[in-house]
Amino acid sequence: MNLTLRVWRQKGPQDKGGFVDYPAKDVSPDSSFLEMLDRVNEELESRGEEPIAFDHDCREGICGMCSMMINGYPHGLEKGTTACQLHMRHFSDGQTITIEPWRVKPFPIVRDLITDRTAFDRIIQAGGYVSVNTGSAPEANMIPISKEIADAAFDVAACIGCGACAASCPNGSAMLFVSAKVTHLNGLPQGEPELLERTRRMVEQMDAEGFGNCSNHRECEVACPKEIQMRNISKMNRDFIRSSVLSRVFGTNGKS
């Protein structure tokens, strides 16, 4: 199949940037979206032109690097997949595909489709960990965790930090990402002791990075390649209110 790509090209963070059209010829319907871009890039290079810069790493949907807006959908229209897992068979011959980088202020554009998502790393550094004493590895069965709790934690641990939630949000809010990280640890016995501090610090860092505020448009939920649910935002709100109001007013550790 033959396609036209309308790609955002931007030389650097300060460059104004703009769309450039490229033909993609003889695209196999079985190739992935990134393989299709690879072939276009090979052709660009052979002509001595600058290839389209895009982030990618694992190409199996677990690293969260291949962030791009494809025809107005984060990671493309297919549900629960990243751009690297998107196959060209979902497009039709002769189609024009618009490819843009994430557009959220806290993710500055580095070049073309690559954005700097270290804002997420700083949010993790603020509280996305559990404090453990060093020493020999603990016995694996020391802390019993029920299947329900383990499953719930794993559902949110699936978050790959790709940024599609913030990129899809009409408010530029990263609350789905932060809530996934917060509830992942808050729900487990290892993370529970630091629940109050963690929630407060990660939310404060999220605000300091300049992300917007959730107003329940629910766009993030459909955009998320790992199908993380907005119930986690509700849980994070509850934990945050516990941390910054209830524990202050009642002077407890906020445990009910």
Partner 1 sequence: MSWVSTFYGSSIGKKTIVAVTGAIMVLFLIGHMLGNLQVFAGPGTATEPAKLDEYAELLRFEIGILWAIRVALITTVVLHIITVVKLRAENSAARGQNYAVRHYQRANAFSRSMFWGGLALFAYIVYHILHLTAGVAHANLFEHGHVYANVIRSFQQPLIAGVYVVATVCLYFHLFHGVVSLFQTLGVSHPRHLQAVEKFGHALAAIIVIGFASVPIGVLLGVVK
d(CA 201, CA 52): 37
Q: Does the footprint of partner 1 cover residue 212 (CB under 8 A)?
A: yes
3-state SS, residue 172? coil
Task: Copy the structure tokens of residue 170.
Answer: 């009409």
Residues numbered 110-169 forming contacts with partner 1, rule: CB under 8 A: none
CA distances from 89 to 42, 181, 217 (A): 21, 34, 30
d(CA 13, CA 5): 22
Q: How far is the CB of 70 from partner 1 (least distance, A)?
A: 9
User: Which listed residue (117, 221, 224, 228) binds partner 1 by CB under 8 A?
Assistant: 221
Q: Does the footprint of partner 1 cover residue 177 (CB under 8 A)?
A: no
Concatenate the DSSP letters of all residues of 195-214 into one string. HHHHHHHHHHHHHHTT----
Q: Does the footprint of partner 1 cover residue 31 (CB under 8 A)?
A: no
3-state SS, residue 228? coil
Q: Does the footprint of partner 1 cover residue 72 (CB under 8 A)?
A: yes
Q: Does the footprint of partner 1 cover residue 75 (CB under 8 A)?
A: no
| Among 94-102, 134-142, 153-161, 183-191, the segment contacting partner 1 (CB under 8 A) | 94-102
Q: How far is the CB of 245 from partner 1 (least distance, A)?
A: 6
Task: Pick the closer one to partner 1 by CB: 66 or 143.
Answer: 66
CA distances from 127 to 105, 179, 198, 220 (A): 22, 12, 5, 22
Applying CB under 8 A, the residues found at the interface with partner 1 are 6, 8, 19, 69, 71-73, 98, 100, 102-107, 170-173, 175, 203-204, 206-207, 210-219, 221-223, 229-231, 233-241, 244-245, 248
